Chains A and B, each alone.
Chain A
Amino acid sequence: DTGVSQNPRHKITKRGQNVTFRCDPISEHNRLYWYRQTLGQGPEFLTYFQNEAQLEKSRLLSDRFSAERPKGSFSTLEIQRTEQGDSAMYLCASSRRGPGYGYTFGSGTRLTVV
């Protein structure tokens, strides 16, 4: 069990640029989640996948955000035309199916939009 891996750990980008983050979940976990966390707040749900299907998206996920999980393995989160308000920690987590299973989080990608 190598845990959940996220890359890059840090990303600084200019406003208006596109960025893409990658998440590699624990291989036995069929559920994958993306959360966003701003300083001093708890994580806010963005979207989740069961295998390759994206089953739910938050209203926080504007049209500039897109997430994929091809083949039900790793996932990518892309933000187009970044804005300063997108600056946050983007967390990926995976879990087994079923209620009561905890999440295993990655270390996150900290995005700074300048």
Chain B
Amino acid sequence: TQLLEQSPQFLSIQEGENLTVYCNSSSVFSSLQWYRQEPGEGPVLLVTVVTGGEVKKLKRLTFQFGDARKDSSLHITAAQPGDTGLYLCARGGNAGNMLTFGGGTRLMVKP
């Protein structure tokens, strides 16, 4: 059972379109991280958010942490084929900095 719900599970779009993926939990996060994973590789950290309402931008990617720190979203503007991958959110643990991951959103951007 995943404590973090990510939606949608799958998303297939054309190059140039915009998209938003979501990460939700019933409990408060101490911190939240977004990772991107390509097939056959480990996840790569994109961003960490720790403050409710925080917004961070990474080129065409915009990350938002909900005011109540129970949800987060990732918005990609003008998606490119290179954005294809599995997008994972992960919440910080109370001890040991252990992360709990969501099930991921698999994004395919077609040229």
Contacts and interface: CB of A to CB of B under 8 A. Distances in A.
Interface stretch (B13-21, B37-45, B56-64, B74-82): B37-45
A77 B84 CA distance: 31
A25 interface: no
Interface stretch (A14-22, A61-69, A78-86, A97-105): A97-105
Interface string B27-48: 0001101000000111111001
Q: How large is the interface on A (under 10, 10 to 19, 20 to 34, 35 or more residues)?
A: 20 to 34
A106 B42 contact: yes
Contacts of B31: 99-100
Contacts of B65: none
Contacts of B101: 35, 42-44
Interface string B74-111: 00000000000000101010011111111110100000
Nearest to A10: B40
Contacts of A102: 33, 45, 48
Judged by DSSP, the binding face of B is loop
29 contacts: A4-B42, A33-B99, A40-B103, A40-B104, A41-B103, A42-B88, A42-B104, A43-B43, A43-B88, A43-B101, A45-B98, A45-B99, A45-B100, A48-B96, A48-B98, A55-B96, A56-B95, A93-B42, A98-B97, A99-B97, A100-B50, A102-B33, A102-B45, A103-B99, A104-B45, A105-B43, A107-B41, A108-B40, A108-B41
Interface of B: 2, 4, 6, 30-31, 33, 40-45, 48, 50, 88, 90, 92, 95-104, 106
- Which 5 residue pairs across A and B have the least CB separation, nearest first? A105-B42, A42-B101, A102-B45, A42-B104, A42-B103
Given A100-B48, A101-B97, 18 more contacts: A31-B96, A33-B98, A41-B104, A42-B2, A42-B102, A42-B104, A48-B98, A50-B96, A55-B96, A97-B97, A98-B97, A99-B31, A100-B31, A100-B92, A102-B45, A105-B42, A107-B40, A107-B41
